[in-house]
Amino acid sequence: MVYLDHAATTEVRPEVVADVAAELGALGNPSSLHAHGRGARRTVEEARERVADALGSTPHEVVFTGGGTESDNIAIKGLYWARNAEDPRRRRILVSAVEHHAALDPARWMADHQGARFETLPVDELGRVSPRTLREALAAAPETVALVSVMWANNEVGTVQPVAELAAVAAEYGVPFHTDAVQAVGVEPVDFAASGVSALTVSGHKLGGPVGAGALLVARGLGPVPVLHGGGQERDIRSGTLSPPLLRGLATAVGLAVGEREEHAKHLADLRDALEEGVRDAVSDVVVNGDRDRRLPGISHLSFPGCEGDALLMLLDARGISCSTGSACSAGVAQPSHVLLAMGADADTALSSLRLSLGRTSTPEDVAALVAAIGPAVERARAARAKRRTPR
C-alpha cells in the first residue's frame, strides 16, 4: 500500500503516541483547583509554552481548540462579531478565492445569517493573492472591513502566499489579518510575531499530531467573540474542558515538526521532483498546477487532459495507491475544484486533476510505484471517457 495523501492527514509520530498514552492515565480536570487538577493544568500550560516557543508567539497568545476548522471559525466569526460590535459599518469579510472550505464556509455563513458582506480576493493563474489586490480592496473604504483571511499555503496546489506582505497591507488600514497555516507549519518558516498576522490557525493531525487538537494564535489586544459558551476556558475565547493528553501530543508534534523543518522540506522536495519527472515521462501532456517557484515541498497537483480525476483516483486505488482529487462531490456528482477555477482553469481541467501529497514516511519506492501505475491508469481513464462520449 502506498499513501500519497499526507495533506489530508499524516501518520501520528511515535513520540506523540508515547506522550499521549503516558498522559491518558493521569486524572484531573485542568480547571479544577485541587492537586489533580493542578497537575492537569501544568501539562496544558507546558504544552502552551512549547507551541508558543515553536511558532514565535507568547503563551498568552495560544488558544487551544479542537482543530483547524474550529480555529478558522473562531477567527472569522469571532473577529467579525467583535469588530462589528465596535463599529456597525465593519461588515465586509475579505477572503481569498482559494481558501479551504473551513474558512470560506464560515465567511459565507456570516453573510447569509449575520448581515456580513462576503467578498473574495481574486488570485492569479498560480493561485497567488497580490498585495496590490488586497490594497485596492481595502483602500476605498477600510472602515467597512471587519477582517481579512488568506491562507499561508494552499492545501490543493501548494502555492505559498506572500503572507507578511499581505498582513502589512492590512495593518496599514487597521484591519485584522487571519491566516490558516495548517499546511505550512513544519515545512515553511512560520513565525507568528515576525509575520505580522493577527491570528493564525494550526492543526495537529497535519504534522504528526493527534486528530482533535489544534490552536488559534491570537495577537494581544484582539478579543474574538467566542463561538462556544460555557466554562470560559482559554481566555473565554474557547470554552470546553481541555484534553491534557491531546495537547501534550500536539505540542510534541509541533516542536518536532518545526525543529526538523529544513531537513524534512528537502526530503519532500526531492521526492516531489522525482515524482513529477517520472510522471512527465509516463504522461507527456501532464500539467503541473500552482506556483512552481514558491509552493509547499510535499504537494504535487497534476492535471491529466482527457481524464476524470475521480476515475484516476479509483484506478490508482485499485493498485494500492491512495491520493486525492481537488474536486468535491455533491449528491454523487463531481464538482470542479474551486481553487483551480479561481486560478482560471476551465471545468474539464479542474475535474482532471489529482493531488499527490508526500509526508515524513514517504519513500522513493512510493514514488516509483506511482510512476509505474500512472501511465496505464491515464490510458484506461481516457479510453473510458472517450467511450462514454461516443454517440451511439
Q: Would you please indicate which residues are annotated as catalytic (active-site) residues?
A: 329
Residues 174 and 122 sit within 8 Å (Cβ to Cβ): no
CA gap 84, 21 in Å, rounded: 43
CA gap 161, 371 in Å, rounded: 29
Residues 360 and 261 sit within 8 Å (Cβ to Cβ): no
Residues 342 and 97 sit within 8 Å (Cβ to Cβ): yes
Q: Which residue has the cell 506556483?
A: 291
**Distance, CA of 149 to chain centre:** 12
Neighbours of 210 (CB within 10 A): 24
Q: Which of 208, 164, 216, 218 is nearest to 187 (CA)?
A: 208
CA gap 167, 142 in Å, rounded: 14
Q: Which of 367, 379, 183, 157 is nearest to 276 (CA)?
A: 367
CA gap 142, 144 in Å, rounded: 5
Q: Which of 360, 104, 63, 78 is nearest to 214 (CA)?
A: 63
CA quadruple 81, 84, 88, 89: dihedral sign:
negative
Q: Which residues contact 52 (CB under 8 A, 6 or more apart)?
A: 58, 59, 61, 62
**Distance, CA of 148 to chain centre:** 16
CA quadruple 226, 232, 235, 239: dihedral sign:
negative
